[in-house]
Amino acid sequence: MQTAIPCLLMRGGTSKGAFFDREALPADKALRDRVLLAVMGSPDPRQIDGLGGAHPLTTKVAIVGRSAREGVDLEFLFAQLQPNSDTVDTTPNCGNMLAAVVPFAIESGLCKPQGEVTTLRVLTLNTDMLCDISVLTPDGRVRYDGEARIDGVPGTSAPITIEFLDTAGSVCSALLPTGRALDRLHVPAQGDEAAFEIDVTCIDNGMPLVMFKASDVGCSGAESVAELNANAGLKSRIERLRLVAGHAMGLGDVTRKNYPKMTLISGAREGGALCTRSFIPHVCHDAIGVLAAVTVATACVLDGSVRAGVATRPEGA
């Protein structure tokens, strides 16, 4: 027999996923994960029997509940699922899905609008990260239309503001888990693939991330997402680096983990400070994740990081 569970399919930033009231899901973790896999239709590359969109960015789940903690309005647990596997990873954060938490809470009756703008404090349970999220709520309803735009999403919509309060060392032990802004990592040979060394910045300011120059892996940084995803040799090289970086960052064997994210950087071409291409961790992101962007920006203002000679740092930053 099937059991009906209320659910909203919502987009947050450049991600999309199923949002649940915590009270509607089983309390038992193993049973809960079985439910989430069934909802997404994983494992199946097309996710034909679920809500997943056959891509990691659309195979996400948000579990939201009221908080009993003083000064906190809502609690959010993020779960990353994959089209091709039966994993349910609640270790990392997701700043994109986080953006839809307050709209979901209002739509589902977990909280009430506060006027023209509703600001709620949200605790991300994955890493105990606090933030204040503000959404437009004129006439007591969430406003979705507007003129704000972000790369990776067609059209425009209402803005959502997130003020992060404590992001450093979200999963790792510190902002700079190796204790340095720049590391030279040795990646051993594997099969027919030669060993190599590469300069990286290992950093965690809301998202464990490894930054390196696109030119150091044979790229210009101007390649399209499709070109990077089709480059099997590049993806293998980046994955080998990710496994080494995982140990260097104190994360252990990250073979089956969704972090650290891998970010190629190159010089800015159309304004801004630099260009990025992020792998999350095996598929190239069409844009860049919210917390990955926060982490990259942090690396750009650190003296001695891998951004030297690549990023244009604004005066005073």
**Structural domains in the chain?**
8-164 (3.10.310.10), 183-300 (3.10.310.10)
With a cut of 70, say whether residue 315 has pLDDT above it. Answer: no
- At residue 166, the pLDDT reads 85
Confidence of residue 35 (pLDDT cuts 50, 70, 90): very high
With a cut of 90, say whether residue 314 has pLDDT above it. Answer: no
Confidence of residue 289 (pLDDT cuts 50, 70, 90): confident
- The 3-class secondary structure across the chain, one letter per residue, is CCCCCCCEEEEECCEEEEEEEHHHCCCCHHHHHHHHHHHHCCCCCCCCCCCCCCCHHHCEEEEEEECCCCCCCEEEEEEEECCCCCCEECCCCCHHHHCCHHHHHHHCCCCCCCCCEEEEEEEECCCCEEEEEEEECHHHCCCCCCCECCCCCCCCECCEEEEECCCECCCCCCCCCCCCCCEEEEECCECCECCEEEEEEEEEECCEEEEEEHHHHCCCCCCCHHHHHHCHHHHHHHHHHHHHHHHHCCCCCCCCCCCCEEEEEEECCCCCCEEEEEECCCCECCCCCHHHHHHHHHHHCCCCCCCCCCCCCCCCC
Specify the higher pLDDT residue, 43 or 91.
43
With a cut of 70, say whether residue 317 has pLDDT above it. Answer: no
- At residue 60, the pLDDT reads 97
- At residue 312, the pLDDT reads 81
- Could you report the per-residue pLDDT of 126-163, keeping only the tens digit for each? 999 999 999 999 999 999 999 999 988 999 999 999 99
- Could you report the per-residue pLDDT of 212-245, keeping only the tens digit for each? 999 999 999 999 999 999 999 999 999 999 999 9
